[in-house]
């Protein structure tokens, strides 16, 4: 248990209070970014059913709930709802994950929350949005569903083969980043004006917004997207290549400077009539592009991935081995920048995972606590709201509150 006074003060968001009532990935990760950058973050967890991340997503909850406090309460019951509203009075950001209209049905719509706290920033993450057609608003959704509906899945996979989702959980993590960024902006405006905001974030729209030029190409010129798989469908020297040791590299012959240095290395002349010095790329369909492809493939087949990477980088061609976790652990840049780190679980055991990014020079982030167990901060959070020990005991008796040691009892 950690009292608010015991929470270390650090980071860019020290002094901001965030409450989230979310499950799975998107909402919790948006809240996690606040927690890692210094905000006081309270995770409301259903008193009856633990968050699915504890049982369905491996170690995700250990990494994406660190620095958070946990209040396990049933906010659908009158007493739980009143405690929730009291908590909102001193909260800067509330993040929820619910289908359109769900909080309104519970009597916890925007206007109700703003009656308690006019400056509150409300973030609603859903698959299909809080407005529009009711039959869409009520659709269930997870990351792959958002990818399928948002046009994202149709862009991924190999030509002539079934579409596939991008992993891991692109829709969830991109939605989390949008939720975090827009809500921080809303907090800034709220502190300036005293008026909060309600952010309606539909995951499929996030995916459509982040598809680069392709939606506009279709809208303006009717150009459909063509699946590319692991190699550009248009440009030579742009994709994945298999090497002698059965590992792969990815490279991009892209830009006049790259071609000027990288083409002669492959025995292809640069600055000629066929490849002028102003050339930025070679089309896969051209004779010169086909020649470059043949040269690259032959070189890769006769060298290891590490040798290929070193050779092409020496000639100015962007190139990297396609790394797995073993490669990452051993890579000197990963080690130098401390990409992986270790912290303590709330039971005192050590755990390893990914560090906090990006890095800050003047207001560094930190990991001060592992992911909380179910309801482990109930007494402290409710005590901060003014509830007495007897009132808290009565809430346990009525099963409005719950408390369990996840590590041992699930």
pLDDT of residue 1: 58
Look at the block and give the residue holding tokens 């493939």.
Answer: 297
Where along the chain do its domains lie?
4-210+339-398, 238-329
Residue 410: its pLDDT value, please? 39
**What is the SS3 assignment for 30-59?**
HHHHHHHCCCEEEEEECCCCCCCHHHHCCC
Distance (Å, whole) CA 112 – CA 77: 16
Q: Do 4-210+339-398 and 238-329 agree at the fold level?
A: no
**Cα–Cα nearest to 97, from 31, 169, 173, 22:** 22
Q: Is the torsion defined by CA of 130, 134, 140, 145 positive or negative?
A: negative
Dihedrals phi, psi of 342, to nearest 5 degrees: -135, 140
Q: Is 172 a catalytic residue?
A: yes
Closest CA relative to residue 360, chosen from 4, 5, 12: 12
Task: Report the alpha-carbon distance of residue 73 to residue 81 in Å, rounded.
Answer: 9
Q: What is the pLDDT of residue 54?
A: 81
Taken in order 379, 383, 385, 388, the sign of the CA dihedral is positive
pLDDT at residue number 32: 98
Whose structure tokens read 């502190």?
191
Are residues 236 and 293 in contact, defined by beta-carbon separation less than 8 angstroms? yes
Please tell me the pTM assigned to this model.
Answer: 0.94
Per CATH, is 4-210+339-398 categorized as 3.40.50.620?
no
Q: What is the CA radius of gyration of the chain?
A: 26
User: Can you give the pLDDT at residue 2?
Assistant: 64
CA atoms within 13 A of residue 6's CA, in its CB half-sphere: 12
Length of the chain: 410
Low-confidence ranges of the chain (pLDDT < 50): 408-410
For 238-329, the fitting CATH number among 3.10.20.440, 3.40.50.300, 3.30.1540.10, 3.20.20.70 is: 3.30.1540.10
Catalytic, out of 40, 92, 172, 377: 172
Q: What is the DSSP string of 224-248?
A: PP---TTB-SSBTTEEEEE-TTS-E
Rounded Cα distance, 196 and 117, in Å: 8
Q: Residue 22: exposed, middle, or buried by beta-carbon count in 10 A (0-12, 13-18, 19+)?
A: buried
CA 17 centroid distance within chain: 20
């Amino acid at each position: 248990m950690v009292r608010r006074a015991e929470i270390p003060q650090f980071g860019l968001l020290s002094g901001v209070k965030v409450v989230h009532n979310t499950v799975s990935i998107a909402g919790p990760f948006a809240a996690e970014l606040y927690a890692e950058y210094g905000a006081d973050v309270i995770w409301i967890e259903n008193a009856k059913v633990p968050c699915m991340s504890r049982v369905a997503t491996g170690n995700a909850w250990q990494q994406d709930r660190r620095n958070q406090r946990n209040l396990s309460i049933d906010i659908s019951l009158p007493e739980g709802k009143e405690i929730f509203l009291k908590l909102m009075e001193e909260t800067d950001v509330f993040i929820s994950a619910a289908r359109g209209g769900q909080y309104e049905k519970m009597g916890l719509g925007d206007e109700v929350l703003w009656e308690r706290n006019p400056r509150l920033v409300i973030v609603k993450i859903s698959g299909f949005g809080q407005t529009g057609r009711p039959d869409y608003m009520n659709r269930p959704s997870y990351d792959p569903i958002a990818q399928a509906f948002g046009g994202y899945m149709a862009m991924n996979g190999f030509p002539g083969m079934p579409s596939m989702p991008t992993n891991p959980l692109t829709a969830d993590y991109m939605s989390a980043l949008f939720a975090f960024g827009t809500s921080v902006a809303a907090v800034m405006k709220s502190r300036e004006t005293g008026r909060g905001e309600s952010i309606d974030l539909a995951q499929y729209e996030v995916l459509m917004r982040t598809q680069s030029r392709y939606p506009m190409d279709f809208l303006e010129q009717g150009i459909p997207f063509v699946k590319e798989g692991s190699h550009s469908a248009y440009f030579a020297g742009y994709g994945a290549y298999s090497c002698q040791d059965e590992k792969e590299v990815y490279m991009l012959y892209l830009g006049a400077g790259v071609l000027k240095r990288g083409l002669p290395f492959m025995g292809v002349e640069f600055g000629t009539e066929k490849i002028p010095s102003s050339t930025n790329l070679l089309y896969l369909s051209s004779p010169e592009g086909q020649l470059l492809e043949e040269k690259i493939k032959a070189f890769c087949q006769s060298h290891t991935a590490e040798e290929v990477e070193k050779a092409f980088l020496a000639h100015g061609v962007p190139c990297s081995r396609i790394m797995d976790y073993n490669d990452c652990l051993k890579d000197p840049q990963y080690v130098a920048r401390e990409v992986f780190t270790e912290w303590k679980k709330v039971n005192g055991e050590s755990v390893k995972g990914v560090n906090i990014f990006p890095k800050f020079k003047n207001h560094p982030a930190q990991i001060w606590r592992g992911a909380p167990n179910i309801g482990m901060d109930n007494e402290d959070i409710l005590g901060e709201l003014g509830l007495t020990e007897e009132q808290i005991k009565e809430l346990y008796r009525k099963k409005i509150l719950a408390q369990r040691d996840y590590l041992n009892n699930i």
